[in-house]
Amino acid sequence: MKTSLAATAIALFGTAALAQDMTPSITASDQSVSNGVVSAESVTAPANGWMVVHRTDSEMAPGPVVGYAPLRMGENDDVLAILQEDVASGDMLMLMVHSEEGGMETGVFEYTLGATEDGPIRVNDELVTAIVTAE
């Protein structure tokens, strides 16, 4: 019986730790995008989804999508998104965690600004983002 309780405690602790580690997050720094790519050092996704690159400005509102990259559930390191438009030095980009839910096809990014397909993930009603300035 002690072994069962210990195994149960370990299983519960492991599950709690896993759930805690799955809190969506994104870490990125200002960077050169002269090669047509923007990257995040790490992205944590609660399920398979997308790192989406939006234009933004000093008001910090997400603007048009200029790139995206697939994410696996869990920790993703060195996530690279190919930019679909020119981004000039000084432009601000918002990297955001999006889901893979609600679209017509799995593995196809279907979001358009304001849509629900493959839409943004929120934590406590806040978007999960990192702002970078192109150098």
CATH of the domain at 101: 2.60.40
Q: What is the model's pLDDT at position 5?
A: 43
Q: 64 in a domain, yes or no?
A: yes
Residue 50 lies in a domain: yes
d(CA 56, CA 65): 10
Query: Phi/psi zone of residue 5: left (φ > 0), alpha (ψ -120 to 50 degrees), beta?
Result: alpha
Q: Tell me, yes or no, whether 13 lies in a domain.
A: no
Whether the model clears a pTM of 0.95, i.e. scores above it, the answer is no
Q: What is the mean pLDDT of each run of 10 residues along the chain (135 residues)?
A: 42 46 92 97 97 96 97 97 97 97 92 90 95 97
Residue with tokens 């806040």: 126
How many angstroms separate the CA atoms of 69 and 41, rounded?
A: 13
Cα 27–19–41 angle (5° rounding)? Answer: 15
Q: Is residue 9 domain-resident?
A: no
pLDDT for 7 equals 43
Domain total in the chain: 1
* Identity of the residue numbered 111: Y
- The per-residue pLDDT for 135 is 95
pLDDT on residue 114: 84
Beta bridge partners of 53: 67, 95
What is the distance between the alpha carbons of residues 113 and 19, in angstroms, rounded to a whole number? 29
Does some domain include residue 106?
yes
Closest to 73 (Cα-Cα) out of 122, 13, 18, 10: 18
| Domain carrying residue 113 | 23-133
Within a domain: 7:
no
